[in-house]
Structure 1
Amino acid sequence: MSAYASDYLATEPARDDVDAMEGTLLLEFGAPWCGHCQAAQASIRRLLAGSRNVTHLKVEDGRGRPLGRSLAVRLWPTLVVMRSGMELARVVRPVSDADLEPLRDALARI
């Protein structure tokens, strides 16, 4: 079983709620119609394969969306590893598995 979430959340969580979540989070900011986001899914799926201690939240981002703004998201997809409200690693617009190495390294340290 993988931590990979295939669907975007119906409702964006508040930043305070994200900061209060226990365990390790992988926040993925993007949109279902975004070509860059769609292209990154296979690499993200492989990154999370076998990761049972990670919660993957796909957050549909856009103008006026407070969670993405609070984390200075500007391009999609943006992936952020967080634990206890602290950012551990970030990757913006990955195109290959190698681009996800900073996230893989952060997840391995947990």
Structure 2
Amino acid sequence: MSASYATHQPERAEIDAAPGVLVLDFGTDWCGYCRAAAPVIGQAIAAHPDARHVKVEDGPGRPLGRSFRVKLWPTVVVLKDGHEVARVVRPADAGAVGEALAMAAA
């Protein structure tokens, strides 16, 4: 089983200042779509060991998800040096997340 979504929200300024490739995975532990996508997301990230993966619990009143305009779960936002490079909403396979990570690595 993959790690739980963190209830502690990093500050947006901390995310914007993060060096390298950062993968923000927005969702909740009780979301069926999130549970189904977790192995797919994990598989894609495992192929990119330089990427840092942060699972962030999202929902009403959660400012980080709102700042990224997250509407559906899971939403995977890939950043490089604090700038959004790609996003994948409800990934069905590792290829979509892998392509997003490849964009950040380029």
* Same fold? TM cut 0.5: yes
* Alpha-carbon distance, 1:101 to partner: 4.5
* Alpha-carbon distance, 1:84 to partner: 2.1
Please tell me whether residue 67 in structure 1 is matched to residue 67 in structure 2. Answer: no
Q: Give the 5 Å matches for 1:1-110.
A: 6-109=3-106
The percentage of aligned residue pairs carrying the same residue is 45
1:79-106 superposed Cα distances (whole Å, 9 cap, x missing partner): 0101222100100111222333431432
How far apart are the structure 1 equivalents of 2:62 and 2:82?
A: 18
Corresponding residue SS for 2:69: coil
| 4+ residue segments displaced more than 4 Å | none
Question: What TM-score do you get using the length of structure 1 for normalisation?
Answer: 0.85
Question: What TM-score do you get using the length of structure 2 for normalisation?
Answer: 0.88
* Alpha-carbon distance, 1:50 to partner: 4.0
1:60-88 superposed Cα distances (whole Å, 9 cap, x missing partner): 00001110000000000000101222100
Unaligned runs of 5+ in 1: none
Unaligned runs of 5+ in 2: none
In structure 2, relative to structure 1, the CA distance for the partners of 1:65 and 1:10 (3 Å cut) is closer
How far apart are the structure 2 equivalents of 1:17 and 1:58?
A: 15
Which is further off, 10-19 or 99-108? 99-108
How far apart are the structure 1 equivalents of 2:25 and 2:52?
A: 11
Number of aligned positions between the proteins:
105
